Structure 1
Amino acid sequence: MSGSHQGTFEALRAQLQEAATTFADGPDALEGILLGLVDDVDRAVREPLEIFPVCHHSPASALAMARRLREKQPKVVYLELCEDMAPLLTELRNCRLPVAVQAFATEIDGFPADWSPLSVVAPITEASAEYQAIAYALDTPGVELVLVDRSSDHVFQWDARGKQADPPGTDEEPSETPPVEEESGLHGDAVGVEIGDLRPRFAELEEHLLRHGRVRHWSEWWHQYVELPLGDSDHDTYRQAMFLIGSLFRRLAPGDPHRLRVDEDRERHMWTRMREHLAATGADPADCLYVCGAFHAASRVEEFGVDGTDTFEIGPRTATAWQHGLIPSSHAAIEAQFGLEAGSVSIAATVWAKNLRRTRVEPYRLEGQAGAKKPKARKTAPAPVTDAEPADMLTGFLRRPPVLDGLDEAELLGWSVDIVRAARRNGYLASTADAIAVFETSILLAGMRERARPTPYDFMDAAVTCIEKDSVPGRRDVRRLVEIMMGGDRIGQVGYDALPPLARDVHDRLAALELRLEQRGVQRALLDIASRPELERCSDVLWMLRYLLPHGAARPIMGERKLGERPIQESWDLALGTHQRALIELGYEGVSIEQVLEQRLRRRAYDIQATAATVLETVEDATLYLRSRRLADELGARALEVLAAERTVDGAPEVLRRVRRLLAYYRTGEPVLPSWIESFVKAGYAHYCTLLPTAFTDEEAGVRHVAAMLGFLFGMESLALSLGCDRTQLELAVAQSHPQDPSRTALLWAAQTRLGGLTRAELRARCDDLLANPMVVPAYPRYLSGFLHALEPVPALTDFVVEAVSNAFGRLPDHVLLPWLPSLITTLRKDGAELAPLLIREAGRIFPGRLTELDSWTPPWRAQPAPPAALTADGPDTGRGDALLAAHPATCDALADLLGCPGGWAAPQGSGHPAGALLDRHPESVRALEALLAGR
């Protein structure tokens, strides 16, 4: 640095050397820091390409930016923002601020798979310096806006260098716990990139500033000691003060190598891009303006300045496909993501509006922005470019005592009255006396904190002290009421023209509902599809949105969608405006909701963790929402592959339930079954037969899962046998099963009864033995649990289960029955809640309907039916069956033809006719028929 350069801030250097000698017992202890601060400011001020340091969402920065743009009228504006976000900035004119520019990627290539989806957002508010620069550049002819910060891809590339195994993050400060408000989640889990991340990274420094500044948090300190002093300062003073603050925070930052490297690489990247642009366009640096955060303005990298070195190489981007768009933002979302105090951004917006009224500075607004007209252009001559030495404005600024604004009693009184009015509307017992108390307490707190004028934070503390007391009667506390009164949580909105094609398509297809879908809040939509068939297409869209969007975006109140059914009337609660961000992010995945839904179904079906039940669910969803036979067949083939690879039976109940539903749908709605479901039934029959013996003894497989396997085998048996399966395989599987658990033993008995290996009489005898054995009686509820689950595969046992429960209550004494009665009830409730209705209906059919009939009632399992008449050779009159057959000979003729024995009717032993001979050889058939007729 030359001697003339040394003289610019010589007075300030001497002052800091004297301070170092006084407070550190010698000039060497603090010289490296204090004099380094001056060197950083001097270097930044002397740069030919004017650097404009800012702090994000700072009204003072926005005001200074608006002033400087009108004075300098630069031809090129370099902005610290991800360079790949440039095409989105023109769409800001179609939105209502605050919004966030977003880069989004779901299909990643080059990053860990568990990082997906990747999302980067840059929130923009009207009270921010970068918006003033964007509005000026886009609406001023001949001005070029160049984004020079790293791309969204490099945000994660550089993060991966230091955190290979950790989740993705940023080089910004970690956020605090977000508020409970819904709007705080508008950015989701996106990585935040902002201009002017100006906050101490040295915890002890921030604590020191807060303690000596007599404030509670950083936002309040910045408002009191930076915003207010710089709000009325001139351009040179503002720049040098911001350079000094950025240099201070940078030099006192902790020595995190990864974070320091990211900071310096960002600065190298930005200066490299600016020099490339200057060389390519031949622009004069004096006609350019570089807008960046004050932290990066005081940079010491070798690439700094238009005369810096060109040694930094910008690496290539990965193959990740990035999508870009605008999403709605809010003050609460910005505060939650960047660790700001709740309400600070709303207060900044209020201060911005007040500064504009006070200074009469005309800000820049994009034409058409929020309905505002383009301001009239002012004929302001550009500031002359001179070679004069920059003046030292810092020395006088630091020595000058703070200007104490007088008390604005009208403003403070208005605040006090408004907060009392808001408190009363929210259930507080506030009165005029409370308004006076808030007014006086605000002045008292400001005086205790050495402030001549109460700040919004002083007023907030006073309101909480005087009104809230010890309880909150409503949903909002006083602090939240003050935030709302100061401007509230403004929520942005992305206009129709700035939406991605998918979101616009959704709005167009739902236009028949005649609702303002862009409006926030819940709206009721009534669809009378019977009288207006065109609304069925709206119904299809709403059901797909319900599947794709978060809960609450589209919620059905009346109506449901089932396989094989058509809608008649539906009622919906829609909140698409509230969930606009989620709808926009769908547009990053495809051009239509059908395409996005198909991609998600495929992704879920082909996931490495997918089960057969999961894939069957995607088949059902593809049929239900997309009505796509092609996709359903593809996913069905995938379900067959997954089932063949499974070695557990955990998903058997869900598989059974969904296969039954799909079979019922295809049998009623299709001429033939799809080939995939036939193959699935065939493979499932063999698969569950193979796993059945192991499942009966596996401790991890519950009785419900084993019952579902048997339900699949018995329920699909007829179809499986028609497709070529062998019933012997099932019989062998049951024969090889040897469970020890009582519930599974009962389930096995039921399966044996279903296969014919165990008669009802034998099953009844085994249950009688259980009740007669005192050692087994405590476990009898577990046997009943097994019988209850057996109703899934063997529903014909419903009457037997009622009999088994009735016998227990009828035979066991009270001292045995009462101890295990709670266990029986809990077992039935836990394991058989969905099967209990079967028992209730059967019990209602068997038991008498009146109490007076109970004494003379005999259970049907104890009633002894009269023995049927024996079949003799005396002719057709010896039994009712013979008489019936003689009266209707066509039945026997048809049976004979079916068995390959043609011929006319003859008496059983009259002419030796084959039908009569058949009855002679099998008299049990006639007896069974007689017994059936006798029962009726």
Structure 2
Amino acid sequence: MSERVPDGLGTFGALREQLTTAAEAFADGPGAVPEILSGMVDDVDRALSERLEIFPVCHHSPASALAMARRLRDKQPKVIYLELCEDLRPLLDELRNCRLPVALQAFASEIDGFPPESAPLSVVAPITEASAEYQAIAYALDTPGVELVLVDRSTDHVFQWEPDEPPAEAEPGSESESEDDAALHGDAVGLEIGDLRPGFAELEEHLLHHGRVRHWSEWWDQYVEQPLIGADYATYRQVMVLIGSLFRRLRPGRRGVEADENRERYMWTRMREHLASSGADPADCLYVCGAFHAASTVEQFGVDADAEPFEIAPRTATRWLYGLIPSSHAAIEAQFGLASGSVSIAAATWAKALRHARVAPYRLKGQKGTRETAKKRAPAPPEPVTDRLSGFLAAPPALDGIDEDELLGWCAGIVRLARRNGYLASTADAIAVFETSVLLAGLRGRRRPTPYDFQDAAITCIEKDAVPGRRDVRRLCEILLGGDRVGQVGYDALPPLARDVLDRLAPLGLDLEKRTIQRALLDLDARPELAPCSQLLWILRHLLPDDAVRPIMGSRRLGERSIQESWDLAIGRNQRSLIELGYEGVTVEQVLEQRLRRAVQGERATASVALDAVEQSLLYLGGGRLTDELGARAVELLSAERTVDDAPEVLRRMRRLLGHYRATRPALPRWCEAFVTTGYAHYCTLLPTAFTDDDSGVRQVAAMLGFLFGMESLALSFGCDHAQLELAVRQSHPEAPAKVALLWAASCQLGLLSQDDLRSRCDDLLANPLVVPAFPQYLSGFVQALEPVPALTPLVVEVISKSFARLPDTVLLPWLPRLITTLRDNARELVPVLVREAGRTFPGSLAAIDAWVPPWSRRPAEAPVAPTPSGPVADLLTAHPATYEAVADLLGYDRTAGAAPRPSAAAALLARHPETAGAVATLLGPAPEPVRAGDPPRGGS
């Protein structure tokens, strides 16, 4: 650039004096307005007088991109300083392997120096073709001898300077219609070059109201983009700096000013350091930054500033990972609070401006979806800085006529799209949309209808008050004007993990880089070479979002093997998630192993979480040392737990793991033995407390009993003591009805309570009118007891049947809803067990109901009369009385009918097995008095 023209008042002296005079006359005296206007002119004068040429831009602005393409061709700088995080520079070389739009990303999952709850940290910087920064990048990378230097703060400093405030809310109506595409950036912090937007809502509302527009994106397109697209470079620079200065000076208070000024000090410090080290001439350099920063007033501004360099704090020890992720127009709009469709409209404006201005943009060679870059030509000599603002601000807007061909094409296209999506649109609607667009433009002070006018007209004339299909007319207009373009990261730019996944899935014969959903069919018997693909798909199913890899047929469980599998694959649509897996490891197996280790070592890890990790390691990693390590961690977590909240999950998972090991291994692993013995002692210790603790539910206590009873034989074989369980049950004294029923069931299982006694207690409960309202709670406890004591199923069916039979309707009818809700909430998975038992107990036909007698209602049969011995056995005994008498003496019975048994050596045997002795005695002669039904057993069976 040339030196500043000294004219006493400066290059913009006349403009400064004119604006100050007008402001004083308008305000009727001195005030803040003249000072602001004069300061804006000073900012423009200072920025344009700097030896290092400053190029002000706005993010994703077609006017900025067009001016950049023109200036690069004219100036052909040798060094380009770009406002972008300096540590993202290596990623720019990979852009030629991608299809725009994409986003540069810095990611950190393991942080050091930031609050632990803030992890993971992520920063994205989206790049589109219709942006000035992409034009500068393409020119620098494809032009020999040109150096591209990123001068903005590093991603580590982004979070160091991040204020501890909630994020600002997005502009109303700025959310994208496509949630999938809008979520491409996730919750990452967005970086944009040239964020030009008023600093407070009052100014923005004022501009929107007087500009007769709905949102900021439309105002910017109408009053900045369209006038500047046809302006020369000098006018463009001055207007952009003027707008940046206006918004900078109208920012209320000091909100955000300190962080912006620190960024400007940072960038000027880096540029001065590079100039000093490289020896580059500032006249051959170009500084690309946002218009807001071009109007900077910091003391480090300029290459000739006398201020000390800005002291840059060191980075934290956080290890940052870098890569490219796909982006989209909708994702950019959602992240930066832009109106829906504004980026797509900007892309359409950029394409139209290139045709009209006949400017060849710069594009990276070999990039997907682009043409060759513009041809080089000799650099133009520098132009002196002159005042272009006076003429631009004083001249009326150009009377651009209506582009009828463009508008007619839009109207015909929207009618065609509307018909395809179920609207009853016709040629008359196309004419109405055309006329309404012109009318709306006139009402809003526009000579030429904009895409926003056309969109409003189409909604008014076609949609009316109903949307017959999935897409409304607003969405159809966005599709017509360019649609939501989604970028893609090329294979060569992917991290090693993503490339490894695509290579290993190549035998499927599918193009997994497509964004469509593809069906993969795997016949593992006919093509066993696809087994590794199946294994990888199941791992990806576990690591990626649900819609990325979805099984249609087939399952993966312990002890199961699928013969055929069917998958719906949308890996190309979820490329961002696959790329971020590459930040965690080199292969998906390594990522899964790391996640399992972190899960069991985390602060919220429990025994059930560790058992789940053990199961996943068996399913996806084949077991081995990792499984043993995770199992040992499960034992540690179980012994350290002080609550029984996870007892149901622990029981379910441990049962499944024990069944797997018993079916596949000759012996259980050591960690399984330790888990069983530790769990047995642990739950015996917590059992009395869990019975009385209100925080422990019935389901949790039943799961504890299920663990103790179900694994007791295994625990006893490993050295546990049965007396510990019996003592824990005796020490339990619950008060809640459901837990009381659980305790009775446990006592019955241990032999401390007979089923007859339990049956009589239930009968007493039904006979007590004070207990009847709480009887559903007792039933809930009995139903939960079916898991640890399944032998009680007939008794529970009997109790429920008795309650329906004996309770009067006045008690039964109000009681039924509570009974149903109690069973549904507390024993949903155990009710089918009761239904099956009831099916075996009750008659299967309607005709059999009248003659059916419940088993529990039958009276015990009378003592049977001993039959007179007859047959071959009786004849044999009669022929040999000595043998008969010897057997009778051995069993302790007198040979005289009806005599009491004599004490003998076999009395103990007789007492232990009375049924067998009675049968033999009946066979031999007169039988003793039989054991009556209902008598308590005198020993084990």
Q: Is the shorter-chain TM-score for this pair beyond 0.5, marking a shared fold?
A: yes
1:587 maps to 2:605: no
Structure 1 residue 861 displacement after superposition: 3.1
Give identity over the alignment, percent: 68
CA change 1:194–1:678 in 2 (3 A) is same
Structure 1 residue 718 displacement after superposition: 0.5
- Provide the secondary structure at the position in 1 that maps to 2:82: strand
Structure 1 residue 794 displacement after superposition: 0.3
Spell out, residue by residue over 1:817-876, the C-alpha distance to the aligned partner (whole angstroms, 9 max, x if none). 33322222222222222112211222222222222223333333344566898999x999
1:210 maps to 2:197: no
Distance of 1:124 and 1:113 partners within structure 2: 30
Is contact 1:848-1:857 (8 Å) kept? yes
Match of 1:155 in 2: 158
The match for 2:58 among 55, 59, 70 is 55
Is contact 1:870-1:927 (8 Å) kept? no
Structure 1 residue 221 displacement after superposition: 1.1
Is contact 1:871-1:927 (8 Å) kept? no
Distance of 1:918 and 1:154 partners within structure 2: 94
Aligned AA for 1:184? A
CA change 1:212–1:775 in 2 (3 A) is closer
The match for 1:798 among 776, 793, 797 is 793
Any gaps of 5 or more consecutive residues in structure 1?
A: 883-905
Distance of 1:870 and 1:323 partners within structure 2: 91
Match of 2:139 in 1: 136
CA change 1:932–1:234 in 2 (3 A) is farther
Match of 1:223 in 2: 221
Spell out, residue by residue over 1:411-462, the C-alpha distance to the aligned partner (whole angstroms, 9 max, x if none). 1111111111111211222111111111111111111112111111111111
Is contact 1:651-1:705 (8 Å) kept? yes
Match of 1:251 in 2: 249
The match for 1:191 among 189, 192, 202 is 189
Once the two structures are superposed, the pairs formed by residues 814-829 of structure 1 within 5 Å of their partners are 814-829=809-824
Structure 1 residue 28 displacement after superposition: 4.5
Match of 1:601 in 2: 596
Match of 1:640 in 2: 635
Spell out, residue by residue over 1:120-166, the C-alpha distance to the aligned partner (whole angstroms, 9 max, x if none). 0000000000000000000111111110000000000011xx42xx5
Match of 1:46 in 2: 49
The match for 2:704 among 689, 692, 709 is 709
Is contact 2:362-2:374 (8 Å) kept? no
Match of 2:695 in 1: 700
Once the two structures are superposed, the pairs formed by residues 541-620 of structure 1 within 5 Å of their partners are 541-620=536-615
The match for 1:673 among 668, 676, 679 is 668
Structure 1 residue 778 displacement after superposition: 2.6
1:438 maps to 2:433: yes
Once the two structures are superposed, the pairs formed by residues 86-485 of structure 1 within 5 Å of their partners are 86-159=89-162, 162-163=163-164, 166=165, 178-181=175-178, 182-257=180-255, 259-308=256-305, 309-375=307-373, 377-378=375-376, 380-385=377-382, 389-485=384-480
Distance of 2:487 and 2:8 partners within structure 1: 47
Distance of 2:602 and 2:8 partners within structure 1: 64
Structure 1 residue 581 displacement after superposition: 0.6
Structure 1 residue 338 displacement after superposition: 0.6
Is contact 2:5-2:11 (8 Å) kept? no
Aligned AA for 2:52? L
Structure 1 residue 779 displacement after superposition: 2.3
Distance of 1:714 and 1:854 partners within structure 2: 38
Structure 1 residue 533 displacement after superposition: 1.2
Distance of 1:188 and 1:407 partners within structure 2: 41
Is contact 2:551-2:566 (8 Å) kept? yes
CA change 1:73–1:483 in 2 (3 A) is same
- Provide the secondary structure at the position in 1 that maps to 2:511: coil
Structure 1 residue 586 displacement after superposition: 0.7
Distance of 2:343 and 2:915 partners within structure 1: 87
Structure 1 residue 932 displacement after superposition: 11
Aligned AA for 2:910? P
Structure 1 residue 373 displacement after superposition: 4.3
Aligned AA for 1:490? R
Distance of 1:639 and 1:148 partners within structure 2: 50
1:787 maps to 2:782: yes
Spell out, residue by residue over 1:85-114, the C-alpha distance to the aligned partner (whole angstroms, 9 max, x if none). 000011111111000000011000111111
Is contact 1:120-1:192 (8 Å) kept? yes
Distance of 1:260 and 1:582 partners within structure 2: 35
Distance of 1:593 and 1:909 partners within structure 2: 79
1:82 maps to 2:99: no
Spell out, residue by residue over 1:470-528, the C-alpha distance to the aligned partner (whole angstroms, 9 max, x if none). 12121111111111110001011111111111111111111111111111121111111
Structure 1 residue 283 displacement after superposition: 0.7
The match for 1:852 among 839, 847, 853 is 847
- Provide the secondary structure at the position in 2 that maps to 1:108: coil
* 422-431 or 242-251, which deviates more: 422-431
Any gaps of 5 or more consecutive residues in structure 2?
A: 878-885, 893-902, 923-932, 934-941
Distance of 1:329 and 1:452 partners within structure 2: 35
- Provide the secondary structure at the position in 1 that maps to 2:151: strand
Is contact 1:175-1:337 (8 Å) kept? no
Aligned AA for 2:211? G
- Provide the secondary structure at the position in 2 that maps to 1:79: strand
- Provide the secondary structure at the position in 2 that maps to 1:101: strand
Spell out, residue by residue over 1:38-76, the C-alpha distance to the aligned partner (whole angstroms, 9 max, x if none). 111111111111111111111010000001101111111
Give RMSD over aligned pairs: 2.6
Is contact 2:106-2:122 (8 Å) kept? yes
Match of 2:900 in 1: none
Structure 1 residue 784 displacement after superposition: 1.5
Spell out, residue by residue over 1:291-315, the C-alpha distance to the aligned partner (whole angstroms, 9 max, x if none). 1110001111111111123331111
1:921 maps to 2:911: no
Is contact 1:176-1:336 (8 Å) kept? no
Spell out, residue by residue over 1:174-224, the C-alpha distance to the aligned partner (whole angstroms, 9 max, x if none). 897633422111101010001111111132222222222221111111111
Is contact 1:876-1:907 (8 Å) kept? no
Match of 2:930 in 1: none
Q: What is the TM-score with the length of structure 2 in the denominator?
A: 0.91
1:752 maps to 2:747: yes
- Provide the secondary structure at the position in 1 that maps to 2:276: helix
- Provide the secondary structure at the position in 2 that maps to 1:241: helix
Spell out, residue by residue over 1:346-378, the C-alpha distance to the aligned partner (whole angstroms, 9 max, x if none). 000001000111111000010111143433633
The match for 1:684 among 672, 676, 679 is 679
CA change 1:401–1:697 in 2 (3 A) is same
Distance of 2:138 and 2:905 partners within structure 1: 100
The match for 2:487 among 489, 492, 497 is 492
Match of 1:894 in 2: none
Q: What is the TM-score with the length of structure 1 in the denominator?
A: 0.92
* 363-372 or 808-817, which deviates more: 808-817
Is contact 2:617-2:623 (8 Å) kept? yes
Once the two structures are superposed, the pairs formed by residues 717-796 of structure 1 within 5 Å of their partners are 717-796=712-791
Distance of 1:717 and 1:550 partners within structure 2: 41
CA change 1:414–1:2 in 2 (3 A) is closer
CA change 1:348–1:729 in 2 (3 A) is same
Spell out, residue by residue over 1:664-701, the C-alpha distance to the aligned partner (whole angstroms, 9 max, x if none). 11111122111112111111111111111111111221
CA change 1:263–1:176 in 2 (3 A) is farther
Distance of 2:304 and 2:14 partners within structure 1: 28
Structure 1 residue 924 displacement after superposition: 4.6
Structure 1 residue 233 displacement after superposition: 1.1
1:12 maps to 2:15: yes
- Provide the secondary structure at the position in 1 that maps to 2:104: strand
CA change 1:276–1:859 in 2 (3 A) is same
Structure 1 residue 780 displacement after superposition: 2.2
CA change 1:54–1:149 in 2 (3 A) is same
Distance of 1:877 and 1:860 partners within structure 2: 37
Distance of 1:76 and 1:771 partners within structure 2: 93
* 709-718 or 560-569, which deviates more: 560-569
